[in-house]
Amino acid sequence: MAKTDLIGGSLWEQYSEKVTERMNHPAFMGELTEEDAAAKGAELVIADYGADSCGDAVRLYWLVDPKTGKILDAKYKSFGCGTAIASSDVMAEMCIGKTVDEAARITNLDVEKALRDSPDQPAVPPQKMHCSVLAYDVIKKAASVYKNVDMSVFEDEEIVCECAQVSLSTIKEVIKLNDLKTVEEITQYTKAGAFCKSCIRPGGHENRKFYLVDILADTRAEMEKERLNTAAAKKSFLELTLIQKHKEVEKVIEQYVRPILNNDGGSVEVMDMKEEGGKTIVYIRYLGACMGCAASTTGTFEVIRNTLKQKVDDSIEVQLV
């Protein structure tokens, strides 16, 4: 029977063949017992997690080697829709062979991508992305049970977009660094709001603590306040000597730019500065992995340029040497 015969055409066709296969023939559904654990000299871990937004729930079983922390086997029971079953099935498979700490780093996007038929085609419709989040959450629950710690230990910070696992601080930082003015730009830079869209504004299929429209408005207001405070608190940048300007630029690069580049093995240095036609031209050179990188003349360059304009003075122009 064709997909279009089952569920009104286009919606059904948004599910990958892998999702359909896992729905109909799950390979890791079941349970593990103390007897199973004893047979392998392992510790049995059982974790339950449910999603208030949709009522789905999953129970995850692990057999963990107490000496290495490696997950020897994994099974699950899913109390939810077919997508939740498919996501839970591939999630359980992905856990096997990893240590508990490694498994805790599996994200919902890892689960969703494992269910894709092709790398560039989503496995499920946007409104079903939360099912992969359920699989992501139950892993962290199991890790917290095994380590006897609170689940919050594995949550780095406040998550705004559950589908793409984008945090509040990331969204605010990206808005500020790139001077973003629309929600569409936030989605373009971070993928927040690209899937189920519930985090964009109130009225989606589930309530959220934070919404992109509000974060954008609040962050833009913070940026304007910072700009006014900076202008009022310090001497005009144009009135500084060239040496003083160099110190201001270097301070901002050290605080806001180098940490980002260092994460990818790169860096940047200020080679020279000069004043010309009311502008301060900053000449920079990339170091390490940034040298020759395709993004060095596009995205990375724009981040540096926008950061200096926002954090130091709008009169700054940046040139590569």
| Secondary structure string (H, E, C) spanning 85-144 | HHHHHHHHHHHCCCEHHHHCCCCHHHHHHHCCCCCCCCCCCHHHCHHHHHHHHHHHHHHH
Q: Which two tokens stand for residue 289?
A: 């992995």
Give the bridge partners for 166, in sequence order: 161
What's the CA gap between 279 and 213, in Å, rounded? 34
Active site residue 131: yes
Q: Give me the domains of the chain, ranges plus CATH numbers.
A: 3-154 (3.90.1010.10), 159-233 (1.10.10.1100), 237-320 (3.30.300.130)
Query: What is the reported pLDDT for 169?
Result: 81
Label residues 84-102 b or e (16+ Cβ within 10 Å = b): bbbbbbbbbbbbbebbbee
* Strand ranges in the chain using DSSP code E only, listed in sequence order: 43-50, 57-64, 71-79, 159-161, 166-167, 266-276, 279-288, 316-320
DSSP code, position 315: T
Strand (E) or helix (H) holding 301? helix 299-311
CB of 32 closer than 8 Å to CB of 71: no
Angle value at C-alpha 43, between 39 and 47, nearest 5 degrees: 125
Query: How many angstroms separate the Cα of 133 from the Cα of each of 49, 93, 205, 250?
Result: 11, 16, 15, 41
Active site residue 54: yes
Give the bridge partners for 279, in sequence order: 276
Catalytic residue among 95, 131, 161, 163, which? 131
What's the CA gap between 283 and 297, in Å, rounded? 13
Instruction: Say which residues have a Cβ less than 8 Å from residue 22's Cβ, sequence separation at least 6.
Output: 85, 86, 89, 90, 115
HSE-CB of 136 using CA atoms within 13 angstroms: 22
**13: nearest Cα among 114, 110, 109, 117:** 117
Q: Which two tokens stand for residue 217?
A: 């408005």
Task: For the full predicted model, state whether its pTM sits above 0.75.
Answer: no
pLDDT in 10s for each residue of the chain, 321 residues: 334 334 444 567 788 999 999 999 999 999 999 999 999 999 999 999 886 555 678 999 999 999 999 999 999 998 878 888 999 999 999 999 999 999 988 887 788 889 999 887 888 876 676 676 778 789 999 999 999 988 877 765 688 988 877 888 878 988 987 889 999 999 988 888 988 888 999 987 778 889 999 999 999 999 998 888 776 655 678 888 899 899 999 999 999 999 888 888 889 999 999 999 889 999 999 999 888 887 778 888 999 999 999 999 899 999 998
Phi and psi at residue 294, to the nearest 5° = -60, -35
**Residue 205 DSSP SS3:** coil
